[in-house]
Structure 1
């Protein structure tokens, strides 16, 4: 708890009044895990009557149970060096902070629904993997791993990512937060592969308002944190070209997602977290409704 106190407080604030939003995590009925008692109603199966309770209470009660959902929730965090990009408008906020917070909220929703959930973190050319499980302890494990994530290096190679896709043998929902500045990339190929395997893949592209508007300070020097190279200076004359190239890149990301039937949302890290979270979950719900 000491490791996750700050993040835990943030998600409690964000989730106040927020609905479940992912899917029905458990099904009522005859199952293996006891849920609650309810009064007998005509039509109920007699084999579900609790006869011991009848002897004590002299009334018929039905044992309700819950069956575990077969769908696991997977959180996928891009913690490469480019995710350290800070907001130019809000102090103390960067892409990684925002991604960790949104994924922590999804984890809290999954835990509240009784779903199994796990975490995949891509950072420093490697993959850190937290197996899926249920319950409050699993939430604390995931929050601790999210808090530990640091923006380092580049995405792992395609072979490394492919070797970690063993977790996706059962039906799963993938929530992936990244800036997707690299596309196509080993990550995009892995996600498209997961979609072809019939998993529900939901992407959140994170940008800063300065990136969207090209409102970087004129004459400032920048270095790509994931590639070797010198400094790059953005002059006033470069802004139009930057906007055009940026628009073309993210249009290509959106088109690839449509072609692969992947839910794709875009947000600026200056937006309220709850607004982004609602929009992300709503986009996935809209696709499900349209497919019926």
Structure 2
């Protein structure tokens, strides 16, 4: 596994994405969907309603039995990467911010989607607006997506879902929406966004980005913390670590439960752990749940 600081230090997002996905794919077998495709997989007995185009006539002539040729079918979908670029994503742990991590994670997922033949788009939530790059499949589009990510900075607030509802109502087909966020919200705006997207019956994955120092309350000697979006400062004493840990655990459990209630996949991504390890952990959880 590649150390997170080594990946985040790579300025070329295309290179960083390839290295991350190479690590993620190491040891993972390609999954396939059985259907009418190009590469033969197996035979099965004919069932009423099967498409006769996939009937093996030569095998019928030899055996006088009806068999359907099943193949491995490559599926192509539209993937939208939704990136929270509000000011809270400017939180720093060591040399890197959550925005740095989100930028590299989005690049890796875009590379993976593109390599599978999927159309991929980028939607950045910042300063109460959405900055869209609609999904496309060509290599030039992927280069534009990387360029947009490289210039991405964290500013303002996420904004409310009602402000950009029209962007997600225009598509009739189901899509895969991947939301990269630290889940910081002042008045339930992320919850409303997830409810909106879930109501449209898209498949949704939330990658919840948190820094190691906020998970362990490692303040580096500072006695107070600042809300990056409001400027509010709160004193923190060493005696409050247990209470902080308890509240953090309760909050994480609540975030996960809200996603589960909306039938949204959830994965915590720690900045102090290898990115490919987090992706592999998510894949294993899906496989364990029988979703892959």
Query: Structure 2 length as normaliser, TM-score?
Result: 0.76
User: Corresponding residue for 1:243?
Assistant: 245
Tell me how far apart the structure 1 counterparts of residues 176 and 202 of structure 2 sit (CA, whole Å).
6
Cα pair 2:107 2:149 within 8 Å, conserved: yes
User: Corresponding residue for 2:261?
Assistant: 259
1:18 to 1:219, Cα distance in 2 relative to 1, 3 A: closer
1:67 to 1:6, Cα distance in 2 relative to 1, 3 A: closer
Aligned-pair CA distance for 1:21:
8.8
Tell me how far apart the structure 2 counterparts of residues 268 and 22 of structure 1 sit (CA, whole Å).
26
Cα pair 1:161 1:186 within 8 Å, conserved: no
User: Corresponding residue for 2:111?
Assistant: 108
Q: 2:193 is matched with which residue: 154, 179, 190? A: 190
Q: 1:171 is matched with which residue: 170, 174, 178? A: 174
User: Corresponding residue for 2:234?
Assistant: 232
Secondary structure at the residue paired with 1:153? coil
Tell me how far apart the structure 2 counterparts of residues 22 and 281 of structure 1 sit (CA, whole Å).
12
Alpha-carbon displacement from aligned partner over 1:33-89 (angstroms, at most 9, x marks no partner): xxxxxxxxx9479xxxxxxxxxxxxxxxxxxxx9873x31111111111111111xx
Q: 2:82 is matched with which residue: 76, 87, 95? A: 76
Alpha-carbon displacement from aligned partner over 1:180-214 (angstroms, at most 9, x marks no partner): 02276323222222223221111111111121112
Tell me how far apart the structure 2 counterparts of residues 167 and 10 of structure 1 sit (CA, whole Å).
33
Answer yes or no: is 1:135 the counterpart of 2:138. yes
Tell me how far apart the structure 1 counterparts of residues 288 and 185 of structure 2 sit (CA, whole Å).
27
1:22 to 1:237, Cα distance in 2 relative to 1, 3 A: farther
Between 1:242-251 and 1:198-207, the stretch displaced more is 242-251
1:141 to 1:22, Cα distance in 2 relative to 1, 3 A: farther
Secondary structure at the residue paired with 1:28? coil
Answer yes or no: is 1:28 the counterpart of 2:37. yes
Q: Give unpaired runs (5+ residues) of structure 2.
A: 1-9, 39-54, 59-72
Aligned-pair CA distance for 1:274:
1.2
Secondary structure at the residue paired with 2:135? strand
Tell me how far apart the structure 1 counterparts of residues 247 and 86 of structure 2 sit (CA, whole Å).
22
User: Corresponding residue for 1:221?
Assistant: 224
Between 1:6-15 and 1:191-200, the stretch displaced more is 191-200
Cα pair 2:161 2:196 within 8 Å, conserved: no
1:198 to 1:189, Cα distance in 2 relative to 1, 3 A: same
Tell me how far apart the structure 2 counterparts of residues 67 and 265 of structure 1 sit (CA, whole Å).
26
Q: 2:154 is matched with which residue: 144, 151, 161? A: 151
Between 1:166-175 and 1:197-206, the stretch displaced more is 166-175
Q: 2:14 is matched with which residue: 8, 12, 26? A: 8
Tell me how far apart the structure 1 counterparts of residues 131 and 224 of structure 2 sit (CA, whole Å).
33
Secondary structure at the residue paired with 1:127? strand
User: Corresponding residue for 1:86?
Assistant: 92
How many residue pairs end up in the alignment?
252
Aligned-pair CA distance for 1:112:
0.7
